[in-house]
Amino acid sequence: MAKEPKLAVIPLGGLGEIGKNMTAVRFGENIVLIDCGLMFPEEEMLGIDIVIPDITYLLEHKEQVLGILLTHGHEDHIGALPYVLRQINVPVYGSKLTLGLVQGKLKEHNMLEQVKLTTVKPRDIISVGPFKVEFIRVSHSIPDSMAIAIHTPVGTLLHTGDFKIDQTPVDGEVIDLPRFAALGEKGVLVMLSDSTNVERSGYTMSERVVGNTFDETFRHAQERILIATFASNVHRLQQAITVAHKYERHVAVVGRSMANVVQVASELGYLHIPEGTLVELDEANRLPKNKVVLLTTGSQGEPMSALTRIAMNDHRQVDIMHGDTIIISATPIPGNEKLVARIIDQLFKLGAKVIYEAVSGIHVSGHPSQEELKLMLNLIRPKFFIPVHGEYRMLKRHAELAKELGIPSENIFVGENGQVLEFNRKTGRTLGRVTSGRVLVDGLGVGDVGNIVLRDRKQLSQDGILIVVVTMDKENNQVLAGPDIVSRGFVYVRESEMLMEEAKTKVKMALEKCCVRGISEWAAMKSVIRDDLGKFLYEKTRRRPMILPIIMEV
Ligand SMILES: [Zn+2]
Ligand SMILES: [Zn+2]
């Protein structure tokens, strides 16, 4: 009898980080991908726009990749699609709203025509090669989110996707606990589950709580109301719109991404806007202040966002006025706290009343807290468990939680991106690694900015640059003009004329030294200039600007 193929799970992103989620599931010679997300750059990635997973492994096994399955429409799950599909064009499966958002992306990249998108609904079971793929409804901070069960001859793999257990969801579509229980009853070989909120005890509150807080705030607000939240949180937008309608206010949308989501979500029937409620921004500006609600992005303090520009008095159409109520309906993602705090300060200074995270009920998370994670583990009782979607300590905590519930520690895998985890009906093991990592996207360049470019950018950002220009005679190595020095970001030249003169002298001395030692190669001369000038400047200023010698020959 031929040996039965094994089931392998290969995380290509999302482990040890929050972002660029992507998991390859391999059975024999067949691969499906779950999610295809991006990550926003970290602070030290200067000038980088987005970060996507390294897909070298997939490119090496291109003909085996059968499709991409999407859990939901957040950027950390769909954001890398245009880049990946350009290299591996396979069918994409997802819910209606998820694919609606994907379409917008593909259109921006001029790829809509080339990609096959297939809409699936919760409880649909489709065949992708040897895989029977089932979609199961979950609650999350974007509608139409689904867990994915992949049934294979050796057993079932369940990926929860991002989820929470909301007993009173805004759209009435409750997480399909009966289906999860049934899967658990039948037996699940491997489960991968969301670790984002594993550090929080108890249950995550229902999204409906936010609606109640909106209602309370609207009832007391005398003037204009401005709500900043994630564009993709359609349920929250719905609650804002519903409450606005109740208090006879009109709603205007500020910011391109928010306008885009409002359009897609209402076209697809996920957002219900009462007739006449939505108005253009300039119309809102003409209405009495107590008749207006503005919805905007920028709840993370993103420097280019509408809210930041509004707070900095730099928005073309929106000025903050004394008496405005501003609701920041989000928690800063770790790393963004300072940006958000600065915006809140600024808004207070402009005379607004700001309601933010510290006030309970203005934001609830879309991810499960400990009790929900336990409930999922107990419903499924998987043989093997892989915590995903979290930084390393979160994966560790989630593993602990699973152990407390009786999953043997040898059946729990705290993995890393690129690690191959292989399972048969009875055993699971780690089996080497494949290439994985991050690919940086800057403008139109994908992967062309690496460590060397980033190191240069870092140096430039810290101490600036000095450009030394000398014109020389090729025949006899005589200096014909210069040296001239141009600097940016190093010192304020007008106040440092002395230093600049001394620097020029240093360059001249360096050139004389070259002459005496018989150094006539341009590259060697440049290196002497760089070393001598660098040493001099460091002694004088304790700074290390980038030095760029240019020798022009005539
Ligand atoms: Zn999500
Ligand atoms: Zn996510």
Residues within the annotated binding site? 47, 49, 72, 74, 76-77, 140, 162, 231-233, 363-367, 389, 442
Determine the distance separating the centroid of ligand 1 and the alpha carbon of 58, expressed in angstroms.
Answer: 24
Determine the distance separating the centroid of ligand 1 and the alpha carbon of 204, expressed in angstroms.
Answer: 15
Per-domain boundaries in the chain:
7-202+365-439, 207-355, 451-553
User: Are 317 and 282 a contacting pair, CB within 8 Å?
Assistant: yes
User: Known catalytic residues?
Assistant: 194, 367
Exposed / middle / buried, residue 288 (Cβ in 10 Å: 0-12, 13-18, 19+):
exposed
Determine the distance separating the centroid of ligand 2 and the alpha carbon of 19, expressed in angstroms.
Answer: 6
Determine the distance separating the centroid of ligand 2 and the alpha carbon of 387, expressed in angstroms.
Answer: 13
pLDDT at 206: 95
Instruction: Return the ligand number nearest the Cα of 34.
Output: 2
Instruction: Return the ligand number nearest the Cα of 164.
Output: 1
User: Are 435 and 51 a contacting pair, CB within 8 Å?
Assistant: no
User: Does 3.30.565.10 match the CATH number of domain 7-202+365-439?
Assistant: no
pLDDT at 299: 82
Residues within the annotated binding site for Ca(2+)? 47, 49, 442
**Consecutive 10-residue averages of pLDDT for the chain (554 residues):** 84 94 96 95 81 95 97 96 96 97 93 96 96 98 97 97 96 96 98 97 95 94 93 94 96 92 94 94 94 91 85 90 92 83 93 82 93 98 98 97 97 95 94 92 81 82 86 79 85 80 87 81 84 89 88 82
User: Are 121 and 343 a contacting pair, CB within 8 Å?
Assistant: no
CA-to-CA separations, 245 to 182, 241, 272, 511, 524, in angstroms, rounded: 41, 6, 11, 76, 73
Instruction: Return the ligand number nearest the Cα of 388.
Output: 2
Exposed / middle / buried, residue 5 (Cβ in 10 Å: 0-12, 13-18, 19+):
middle
Tell me which residue of 34, 175, 22 sits closest to 92, measured CA to CA.
34
Distance CA 10, CA 26 (A): 8
pLDDT at 305: 86
Determine the distance separating the centroid of ligand 2 and the alpha carbon of 530, expressed in angstroms.
Answer: 47
What CATH class does 451-553 carry? Answer: alpha beta
User: Are 226 and 294 a contacting pair, CB within 8 Å?
Assistant: yes
Distance CA 454, CA 49 (A): 13
User: Is the CA virtual torsion 7, 189, 422, 61 positive or negative?
Assistant: positive
User: Are 315 and 309 a contacting pair, CB within 8 Å?
Assistant: yes
Site of tokens 């919760």: 122
CATH number of 207-355: 3.40.50.10710
3-state secondary structure of 235: helix
pLDDT at 358: 62
Per CATH, 207-355 and 451-553 having the same topology is answered no
Q: Which residues pair with 384 in a beta bridge?
A: 190
Residues within the annotated binding site for Zn(2+)? 72, 74, 76-77, 140, 162, 389
Helices of type H across 79-197 = 81-87, 96-108, 177-186
pLDDT at 269: 94
